[in-house]
Chains A and B, each alone.
Chain A
Amino acid sequence: MLTSADPDSILIQGPRIVDPGRGMDAIGDILITGGKIVSAGPRLSPADLPEGCRPIPANGMVAAPGFIDLHCHLREPGYEYKETIATGTRAAARGGFTSICCMPNTDPPLDNEAAVALVQQRARAEGVVRVFPIGCVTKGRRGKELAELEELAAAGVVAYSDDGDPVYDPNLMRLALTYTLDLGLPISNHCQEHRLCPGGVMAEGWAATRLGLPGIPAAAEEAMIARDLALAELTGGWLHLAHLSTAGAVALVRQARERGVSVTTEVCPHHLSLTDDWALGYQGTPDGGSGPLNYDTSTKVYPPLRGRQDVDALIEGLADGVIDCIATDHAPHEAASKQVTYQEAAFGISVFETALGSLMALVHRGQISLSTLVDRLTVGPARVLGPSFEELATLHPGSPADVVLFDPDLDWVVDTGEFASKGRNTPLEGVALKGRVVTTFVEGKVVHQDSLY
């Protein structure tokens, strides 16, 4: 193990190493050399260390494989006023994400090789984490004809999605699932039966009725999930369900899994922690339940924030593995698109930089274990992305040194003024979280170092 003097060697000393891919959860050391993991396990003696190796004390911290995000919006090309690859990847790094998959609802959309290549080039030139584009299912995201899916696969997309909109035509969805059988990539669908929620802007229920806002019933999501599960069963195609938000959706997936349907799923941090009544604006206020209605547009997101029972069912599904992974659906927006009426406001939350803090609440409350949480942020998404991503989801010696170091117990208050993301649109502004990313490494290089440390 002893190597010659290497100025690029880093020793992360004494963290709790949580590496679910190897079933590891123990205090130890991590030695990184030349951008690769040399060792991540028991404490090393000084004799084992290369000369000139830089020590990073990490007592009390958690070290884990860098997080992988299956679902984010980097907005470039076309919406650089909302986010760019440069700012979006820095926000990801601040959130502990080292690999992110960006959705193709850009302008132009990523429905051809050249558009995909542009994103890849920009990511190499300006990004600080690994960026994997997702390609469109249909040309122009118009839902009429399939995009050139093999060309997109050859260009390096990791999945297909018309995210922002569903693949609405059931026959086209069937054909997409069938055509991709030999391409080995999933179709990620944004499930929303628009006709069940005309004008809908938040979850149907007490809060929406109280605010006089058109609701989106759970059935709008569940009806299309049920359709897609039937189509996946019919075709044998690989269906990935984006951002589950309802208890009924979890139940549908659970049943489909039992029948052996080839389906993978994700859930977003906000659907695991926030409820629809946050739109009233009572949270975070001193009196917590009175005062004028807020119509907090930062809570407007698709799928909408829902009720406590849905949140509980999603946490349960995440804990028992019916839900494979956590994906951020990081959806940054410029301030003006949220400083309007709730009905006019854009859908989406800027999630990267609050993801870990809000997810750690589940661990602190004992709803999931730390290693399950890390699994759903690493091994889970890597499984959806395929075998070539396995090494990005583990600290196994020889793998690229994509590592996140976080303080699981640090109390901090969200201040969007500190965000690297251009999108300050989060209902968590001013909210206290416990758990914060300290350092993020991509291939052994520090891409984020928290200012508090």
Chain B
Amino acid sequence: MVSPEAAEIRATPPIPEAIPDFAPDGKLRRNVLDLDDFSAAEILSVLDGTAAMGEVLRRDIKKVPTLRGRVVVTLFYEPSTRTRISFEEAGKVLSADVINMSTSGSSVEKGESLLNTGLTLQAMGVDVIVIRHPHSGAPYLLARHLPRVCVINAGDGLHAHPTQALLDLYTIREKVGRLQNVKVVIVGDVLHSRVARSALWGLTQAGARVTLCGPTTLLPLDLLNCGDERDEGHPFAQVEVNTDLDRAIEDADVVMALRLQSERQSGGFLPSLREYIRRWQVTESRLERAKPGALVMHPGPMNEGVEISTGIAHGGHSVIEEQVTNGVAVRMALLYRLCAQPSAEKLETAG
């Protein structure tokens, strides 16, 4: 399963035995690009792995040798604090060598294409590339052209942010106790949110009930209307849309507020922040309509006082800090899953 050397190191209390090595259906996974190709069972197995990794993070000495000798590169074409540091910490706790490559000061500034940068990293023997890119699909380009590297999407354009979605799922399962039939209201700029899109795949796959809420100009209505009718086979056939937050929030188990970029107002999507706040800010009074003990989540970074009131952001309902903590564990589980898989030949067949 792992190299003899790694097996030996396991003798020093390594990662908990509970971590599953493989996808439950036996299918190996090479890349994490979005959650659209994760079955419910695979999601749950990642969440189980996350719980085990969380145990490592709570130890006095947060270090296991599991990924010793593995090289992880974080390749970020967009600014990021939490995602990047979270991946770096995840890799380092597992003893991988983590190299942060930022686009400024690198060959990217000299005009090197994404593909050539990827090929260069592959030639150096890198095991995992964690990529964030402003263009949707950039991680897919690498995944298609780099057969010897595992690619993890840390956010691509408007498209996907699967590790964020997994940490959200983990946080919900940990706090609510389940995902099946949990009512999740996602409020705000869903249209431009890769977090919301990946969460939509993960939540619907795991059996949660999702309601999208926000200004009609910022809802991805095309995503819900596959073709002209919403047939049952459509992955989002059960997703509801309600622009009235006071209604949408009723009986919610989870309220997920999304970051509102200030350029949405100048882009004409909104009349004013004032009107947005009045209609869609997650506030104390609105939260009273949700289930008692409902969770408030936010992928960060927050605009306190815009999409979320300060009281809520730091109040008893908020699990925003837990989300960040869980983010490290989720990324550990994914790095382990991709790196600790058996042999290169078997990976080849994983596609």
Residues of A at the B interface (CB closer than 8 Å) are 204-206, 208-215, 291-295, 336, 339-344
Contacts and interface: CB of A to CB of B under 8 A. Distances in A.
B115 interface: yes
A208 B33 CA distance: 17
B160 interface: yes
Interface string B190-217: 0000100100000000000000000000
Interface in B141-166: 141, 143-145, 156-160
Interface of B: 31, 33-34, 36-37, 113-115, 133, 135-138, 140-141, 143-145, 156-160, 194, 197, 220, 222-223, 225-227
B182 to A, nearest CB: 24
A211 B159 contact: yes
A205 B223 CA distance: 8
A341 B37 contact: no
Contact of B113 (A210, A211, A292, A339): A339
A208 B158 CA distance: 11
B37 A209 contact: no
A307 to B, nearest CB: 8
Contact of A293 (B135, B137, B157): B137
Contact of A340 (B141, B156, B194): B141
23 contacts: A206-B222, A206-B227, A210-B223, A211-B136, A212-B158, A212-B159, A212-B194, A213-B158, A213-B159, A292-B140, A293-B137, A294-B140, A295-B136, A295-B137, A336-B113, A339-B113, A340-B113, A340-B141, A341-B114, A341-B135, A342-B135, A342-B136, A343-B137
Nearest to B228: A309
Nearest to B143: A292
Contacts of A294: 140, 144
Given A208-B222, A293-B137, A341-B133, 19 more contacts: A206-B222, A206-B227, A209-B220, A211-B159, A212-B158, A212-B159, A212-B160, A212-B194, A292-B140, A292-B143, A293-B36, A294-B144, A339-B113, A339-B145, A341-B114, A341-B137, A342-B136, A343-B135, A343-B136
Nearest to A208: B222
A213 B223 contact: no
A339 B137 CA distance: 12
Closest 10 CB pairs of A and B: A212-B159, A295-B137, A212-B136, A341-B135, A212-B158, A209-B222, A209-B223, A343-B135, A341-B138, A206-B226
Contacts of A291: 37
A213 B160 CA distance: 11
A336 B112 CA distance: 12
Nearest to B225: A206
Residue among A214, A215, A341 with the highest chain B CB neighbour number at 10 A = A341
B115 to A, nearest CB: 5
Contacts of B158: 212-214
A295 B227 contact: no
A295 B141 CA distance: 8
Contacts of B136: 211-213, 295, 341-343
A291 B225 CA distance: 21
Contacts of A344: 135
Given A206-B227, A211-B159, A212-B156, A342 B222 contact: no
Given A212-B194, A292-B140, A295-B141, A343 B222 contact: no
B33 A340 contact: no
Nearest to A308: B227
A291 B37 CA distance: 8
Contacts of A339: 113, 115, 141, 145
A340 B114 contact: yes
Contacts of A336: 113
A51 to B, nearest CB: 61
A341 to B, nearest CB: 4
Nearest to A344: B135
A208 B160 CA distance: 13
A144 B78 CA distance: 37
A112 B188 CA distance: 53
A211 B135 contact: no
B222 A293 contact: no
A341 B197 CA distance: 19
A419 to B, nearest CB: 22
Contact of B140 (A206, A293, A343): A293
Contacts of A340: 113-115, 141
A205 B135 CA distance: 18
B265 to A, nearest CB: 15
